[in-house]
Structure 1
Amino acid sequence: MTFQGNGPLDTGGVSAGGSGGGGGFGGGRIALGGGVGLVVTIVALLFGLNPGDILGGGADPGRQAAPGGQDASSNQALQEHIDSCTIEKANTDDVCRIVATTNSLNRVWSQQMKGYTQPKTRIFSGRINTACGAASSAMGPFYCPADQTAYFDPSFFADLKRMGGSDGPLAQEYVVAHEFGHHVENLTGVLAKGQRMGNAGSVRIELQADCLAGVWAYHADKGPDAMLAPLTEEQIQTVIQSAQAIGDDTIQGSRSNPESWTHGSAAQRVRWFKIGYRNGNPRQCDTFSTNDL
């Protein structure tokens, strides 16, 4: 168990989607992923390309889901699932865990950041259209600054485990917190700054998002309105295991080339999460002011 208390969750900013057809979104925009295993995907995102075209998972412009058809029915069922989420369900259900984590993140960041505005969250399956282009589940979770929305296919959690990460509750919540970290970076202007720096900027962006996820974890189990029960060292270790699994050097293997990294090494990802979790101070997450990543 990670969430404490009972009752319904705020689902106002969370919606269902996926397996939709139709293009119609402009190019040249950036989506940021949380650490999928396909480096080509991240490179595509950084340069504003349509990752669906590269992965073969993009929407077919000639295919539109018929009203009341399978896609609409599936999305309606998923939306009903989302709307039924409670704190109790968040401890056993992946979809509801995403919803509960968004509630906790919005609560923490509204306290930690002046001018914080809540992002939207889309939970999808298969394929989805975004303001950053068509995307597929093969990308893993990502954040699109053009529509200020974080996108999650819950099937990624099983993929993360297969990659050597953990599918434990806090590890899943770390994935969500990382994407919300990109939203915080978008609000502060860090995303635009990193974009101008190529891969080097991407690494700093991703490590900062890991640090901001740590900041959330520090605050999420504290105070009278804390949604998370006190975190244990065992739970933190599941996050570390997952951060190690999605380090660029882990993913690329023995021929890993630091110049091609987009997210940082396993050690760097763990280090920056720990920095955020150790002190809970977002100002300590400035990966752009140090040469010691």
Structure 2
Amino acid sequence: MSFNDGARIDPSKVKRRRRAVGVGAGGGGLVVIALVVISQLTGVDLSGLAPVLGGGTSQGGTTSEESLETCTTGADANASIDCRMVGAATSLSDYWTATAPSLGISGYADPDFFLFDAATDTGCGQATSAVGPFYCPPDVAIYIDTTFYQDLRDKYGASGGPLAEMYVVAHEWGHHIQSYTGALEKAQDGQTGPTSNGVRVELQADCYAGAWAAAASSTDDPSGTPLLEPITDAQVADALSAAAAVGDDRIQGTTANSETWTHGSSESRQKWFTTGFQGGAGACDTFSVATP
């Protein structure tokens, strides 16, 4: 999916964090929600992070935040991954500001959005690149190390492409929407498996991503200029490839351990992205079906 070169994107929507030497921890009393809700997309078992996410003290190192002031146009978004994240945030902001009321959400506000390298401290504890992209409820923020996109292609076999990258952002933004609707809280029961609340939460976020993708070419910059060019079938295929690549069965290489699933099968992830793409955000009730 390409941005219109002359469209204006809002660099205030995203910041890049730089971290000096040292290992930090942080956060407390958030282990359950962090382990279950952090949507790492990679299928990584987060149980080993419990000591970090559960609390601790910083062990040196400082974090600085850089604005992305050079990311101002659609042409910038087409040329740079950082600027593409700014463009995605600008489009998602426009879409959800208009759409959130239809889901019964009042007082909607965008999440913060941070890009980081290698590791960063968050309200959910310290995160590393191994955790992958995630939404941290205490911070009301999305965190992404953009090197994940290379892993998505090389390690997980996705076809790649700009819409595949923005699908990841849209999925995490979907968790932000769930923080308003109350759906996010349902993942705190600690259950796993194909019909668990945790999987339903993840599949709903995929559905919300599909809803945004279908409407993305009608989102506008602050002056009313369309942000994105019309979506193509090939770009939709890239997004579906990314969704399938991070299905629990694809990552495990088997369906034998489905009771451990936390994000859903490749087929389910593609199905719910398509459901949102075809039916909009209102079609994304993954909790009312027997088998999502």
Q: TM-score with structure 2 length normalisation? A: 0.86
Contact 2:175-2:184 within 8 A present in 1 as well: yes
| C-alpha distance 225-168 of structure 1, shift in aligned 2 (>3 A) | same
Q: What is the rounded CA distance, in whole Å, between the counterparts of 1:50 and 1:285 in structure 2?
A: 34
Q: What is the rounded CA distance, in whole Å, between the counterparts of 2:3 and 2:43 in structure 1?
A: 29
Structure 1 residue ranges without an equivalent (≥5): 66-70
The amino acid of 1:23's aligned partner reads: A
Contact 1:52-1:136 within 8 A present in 2 as well: no
Deviation at 1:194, TM superposition (A): 2.6
Of 208, 215, 218, the match for 2:211: 215
The amino acid of 1:177's aligned partner reads: A
Alignment of 1:236-275 (within 5 A): 236-254=236-254, 256-275=256-275
Q: What are the superposed Cα offsets for residues 158-187 of structure 1, whole Å, 9 maximum, x if unpaired? A: 000011013200100101000000000111
Deviation at 1:26, TM superposition (A): 1.4
Structure 2 residue ranges without an equivalent (≥5): none
Provide the secondary structure at the position in 2 that maps to 1:287.
Answer: coil
Q: What is the rounded CA distance, in whole Å, between the counterparts of 1:178 and 1:141 in structure 2?
A: 10
Q: What are the superposed Cα offsets for residues 50-75 of structure 1, whole Å, 9 maximum, x if unpaired? A: 5679xxxx99832223xxxxx65xx5
Of 33, 39, 53, the match for 2:39: 33
Deviation at 1:228, TM superposition (A): 1.6
Partner of 1:109: 96
Q: What are the superposed Cα offsets for residues 40-95 of structure 1, whole Å, 9 maximum, x if unpaired? A: 12x568xxx35679xxxx99832223xxxxx65xx5xxx25x22113211112111
The amino acid of 2:286's aligned partner reads: T
Partner of 1:198: 191
Partner of 1:68: none
Contact 1:37-1:246 within 8 A present in 2 as well: yes
Provide the secondary structure at the position in 2 that maps to 1:110.
Answer: helix
Contact 2:91-2:216 within 8 A present in 1 as well: yes
Of 117, 120, 127, the match for 1:128: 120
The amino acid of 2:186's aligned partner reads: K
Partner of 1:61: 58
Q: What is the rounded CA distance, in whole Å, between the counterparts of 2:256 and 2:56 in structure 1?
A: 32
Provide the secondary structure at the position in 2 that maps to 1:206.
Answer: helix
Contact 2:39-2:135 within 8 A present in 1 as well: yes
Contact 1:248-1:256 within 8 A present in 2 as well: no
Q: What is the rounded CA distance, in whole Å, between the counterparts of 2:134 and 2:216 in structure 1?
A: 22
Of 98, 111, 116, the match for 2:85: 98
Deviation at 1:10, TM superposition (A): 1.1
Contact 2:27-2:124 within 8 A present in 1 as well: yes
| C-alpha RMSD over aligned residues | 2.3
The amino acid of 2:136's aligned partner reads: C
How many residue pairs are counted as aligned between the two chains? 272
